[in-house]
Amino acid sequence: MHRPAVFFALLLAFSTRAAAVVDYEKDIKPLLKERCVSCHGSVKQKGDLRLDAGALIDKSIHSDLIERVTSHDEDERMPPEGARLTESQVGALRQWFAAGAPFPSDEVIPKKPSEHWSFQPVKRPPVPESASKHPIDAFVFGKHEPSPQASSPALLRRIHLDLTGLPPTIAEQEKHPSLDAVIDDLLTRPAYGERWARHWLDVVRYADTNGYERDAEKPFVWRYRDYVIEALNKDKPFDRFVIEQLAGDELPDSSLETHIATGFLRLGHWDDEPADPATDRYDQLDDIVSTTGQAFLGLTIGCARCHDHKFEPLATRDYYSLVAVFNPLERPRKGRTELTVPVDGTEVYTWREPSGKAPETHVLVRGSPTRFGDLVEPAVPVILAKTQPSFSNRRLGLAQWIASTNNPLTARVIVNRVWQQHFGQGLVTTANDFGLMGAAPSHPELLDWLAHWFMHDAQWSLKKLHRLILTSRAWQSSSVEQRAKGVESKPAIAASSGDSGSLPSALSSTPYRYRRLEVEAIRDSMLTVSGQLNPKRFGPAMKPGIPKAALEANTDKEKVWQASDEREASRRSIYAFIKRGLVVPMLETLDLADTVSSCPQRQVTTVAPQALSLFNGDFVNQQAKHFAARLKREASDDAKKQITLAWRLALCRKPSTAELAQMRAFLREEPLEQACRVILNLNEFVYPE
């Protein structure tokens, strides 16, 4: 063989051997996903080129791709932004192409955005055949036996805490009505609205102040909080609830109530002295558009402010078409001072439209308020609507479309939020993101069945949805077996392993998740068992006492926080003043929602300051004193009666023989007040079961 032939044979052998080292799944696909797919994937196909699956990469373009990724011409090179591909990355592509660009024959080609599950019309799937008559159980358990039901005392306490955020009284523990009757009763109580309004306030980024340096109070913003509580207690249909918050002032039957509802639009943080007023104006509009997209539609539309969304079928034009809906709004103000809008003589915290003629709205190139692009008109994202709704009244047109049964997202999103609060995790775990990058539903047929049922059978009634969920065995399943096996309550939240978010293996058959109560329910439960809960409802927020150390960072320590008297501060936690720059330490430590943007779900952390706050904090020690005084009043000086009453009030059960003996021994060494402090720190007290 001639030397040149030997040389090329060896070169080919080495090249083939090197190419074999390159693995498509490990080396090529991750590279394409990281650097190419945002512009050449299922969402966007610049130059009609897709690189998100091996089958889509035609051999005819191999040399062109190598030429573009190695080009030194800034107008030609790929990717156009960021660092160039490294020599090893280019080498891997060369080797893969040389080997014929092999890929797994069973590789799944990503669907087009229009085929994404949440963008499809909501249809009602048939209920699966099941031994259970309850539709939810039929979807969850199928033909298998449902999980064991929790004990009646445990379920009673769980239902009360779930719907009202308060434990049942001893009288309620002794009534023994059916669970269905308990659910119906609790849904009629004012405490239901106070409990569930807090969940919605998390979603809409509610706070009582503006944030930023001066963090001034939002005048009369508490009227919006009261509106939400009342709307839930009256079981206002959710579609109407949506419309009132977006466009209550544009309704033919507008009223003081519907004007107050539009406070939703003004809840975001606000800089009263921005460095760049033009940018600040668009920041305010962005807050509204982003929150509207996440809260009602479960879409991260705000990511398209500066460029087409990298991972969702949402263009910059879609974003600014929504900006055009809200662009006529103006924030009433006088210098740094926010003003309210007079409606029927009370003062309302909302926007106003100073002119009957809407201003023009342009796409802002790269999000810059000085670089105007194409003129846009009000519109909803193209991916969600084959035909655009009427925008004769801009916000009302958008609101009516969002609340329409033809919208594929709204019912799915709210049904999932309610499921999440009841079970600890949604059928879709990304409650604010139903887009391509969001999680797929764990039970897609169940989600669609619930969404369709909610719109058509329940007529958007949240109370009917609660009732349906709470009467299922899926929700009533036992989440813990410890007490049935004789394991006693253990003190100190710091000793807990915390909520890692995973279910114990033995409980994998039920969707109910064992998790800690939110801080508001913990605080309100303490006030309830101590006998100090002030039932006063509505009106201006109260200010709980806070440690002096928490004020140290503030320049005006005397004025920044004037605590309410104890009686006023003993109201339910939903009425607590939420100052963005100074959150009550107990609320912050125990995972109060972020108030800057929409909060889809509370974090559940386990950190040392939580134990310190619950065991050494002024509030808990104060309630322990009141709790002890109550036990002495109602159980005299009999230690056994005091312990039994304490267990009934706090844990809604009688103490076991071992628990009774341990507490009697404790009381021989320590005062009753300290025993009460221990009880308020039991894990069993801060968990619903």
Amino acid, single-letter form, for residue 309:
H
Q: 217-243, pLDDT tens digit by residue?
A: 999 999 999 999 999 999 999 999 999
Q: Of 95, 110, 125, which marks where a domain is finished?
A: 110
Give pTM, 2 decimals.
0.88
Higher pLDDT, 26 or 557: 26
Measured CA to CA, the distance from residue 43 to residue 114 in angstroms comes to 9
218 close to 208: Cβ distance less than 8 angstroms: yes
Q: Is the pLDDT confidence value at 14 over 50?
A: no
Q: Which domain holds residue 350?
A: 237-402
- CB pairs under 8 A, 24+ apart, for 266-269? 266/218, 266/221, 266/331, 266/349, 266/350, 266/351, 267/204, 267/205, 267/206, 267/207, 267/218, 267/221, 267/224, 267/291, 268/205, 269/207, 269/210, 269/211, 269/212, 269/580, 269/595, 269/596
Please give the average per-residue pLDDT across 28-46, as a whole number. Answer: 87
Q: Is the pLDDT confidence value at 20 over 60?
A: no
Higher pLDDT, 81 or 194: 194
296 close to 242: Cβ distance less than 8 angstroms: yes
Query: Measured between alpha carbons, how far is residue 136 from residues 196, 395, 553, 586 in Å?
Result: 22, 36, 51, 37
Q: Residue 21's pLDDT band (boundaries 50, 70, 90)?
A: confident
Count CB neighbours of 318 within 10 A. Answer: 24
* pLDDT for the residue 10: 44
Asked if the structure places residue 393 within a domain, the reply is yes
Q: How would DSSP label each residue in 413-437?
A: HHHHHHHHHHHSS-SSS-TT--STT
Please give the average per-residue pLDDT across 75-100, as a whole number. Answer: 90
* pLDDT for the residue 664: 97
530 close to 623: Cβ distance less than 8 angstroms: yes
Q: Minimal CA–CA distance to 124: which of 458, 588, 585?
A: 458
Higher pLDDT, 74 or 123: 123
Give the relative orientation of helices 179-186 and 152-164 as an angle to the nearest 10 degrees: 20
Shared-domain flag, residues 243 and 98: no
Q: Is the pLDDT confidence value at 482 over 90?
A: no
* pLDDT for the residue 491: 40
Asked if the structure places residue 78 within a domain, the reply is yes
Asked if the structure places residue 249 within a domain, the reply is yes
* pLDDT for the residue 558: 74
Computed over every residue of the chain, the mean pLDDT equals 90
Asked if the structure places residue 261 within a domain, the reply is yes
Which is it for strands 341-343 and 346-348: parallel, antiparallel or unpaired?
antiparallel
* pLDDT for the residue 509: 57
Q: 152-179, pLDDT tens digit by residue?
A: 999 999 999 999 999 999 999 999 899 9
* pLDDT for the residue 548: 86
Asked if the structure places residue 326 within a domain, the reply is yes
Both structure tokens of 560: 């920044």
Per the structure, how many domains does the chain have? 2
Asked if the structure places residue 338 within a domain, the reply is yes
Asked if the structure places residue 15 within a domain, the reply is yes
Q: Is the pLDDT confidence value at 689 over 70?
A: yes
Which is it for strands 333-334 and 372-376: parallel, antiparallel or unpaired?
unpaired
Q: Of 402, 429, 460, which marks where a domain is finished?
A: 402
Q: Is the pLDDT confidence value at 490 over 60?
A: no
Asked if the structure places residue 30 within a domain, the reply is yes
Shared-domain flag, residues 247 and 391: yes
- Give the 3-state secondary structure of residue 137: helix
Instruction: Quote the percentage of the chain above a pLDDT of 70.
Output: 92
Question: b/e map of 417-430 (b: 16 or more CB within 10 Å)?
Answer: bbbbbbbbbbbbbb
Lowest-confidence segment of 234-248, 283-297, 389-403, 510-524 by average pLDDT = 510-524
Q: Residue 3's pLDDT band (boundaries 50, 70, 90)?
A: low
Shared-domain flag, residues 241 and 106: no
Q: Residue 13's pLDDT band (boundaries 50, 70, 90)?
A: very low
124 close to 449: Cβ distance less than 8 angstroms: yes
* pLDDT for the residue 37: 84
Please give the average per-residue pLDDT across 203-226, as a whole number. Answer: 96
* pLDDT for the residue 2: 54
| Non-local CB neighbours of 268 within 8 Å, separated by 6+ positions | 205, 284, 287, 288, 291
DSSP 657: H
Count CB neighbours of 104 within 10 A. Answer: 11
71 close to 77: Cβ distance less than 8 angstroms: yes
| Segments in 539-679 forming alpha helices (H) | 566-569, 585-589, 608-616, 618-635, 639-651, 657-667, 672-679
332 close to 351: Cβ distance less than 8 angstroms: yes
Q: Of 377, 402, 427, which marks where a domain is finished?
A: 402
* pLDDT for the residue 108: 87
Q: Is the pLDDT confidence value at 508 over 50?
A: no
Q: Minimal CA–CA distance to 211: which of 306, 368, 338, 369?
A: 338
Q: Look up tokens 């573009």; give the residue.
A: 68
* pLDDT for the residue 42: 81
* pLDDT for the residue 182: 97
Shared-domain flag, residues 244 and 383: yes
Size of the chain, expressed as the number of residues it contains: 689
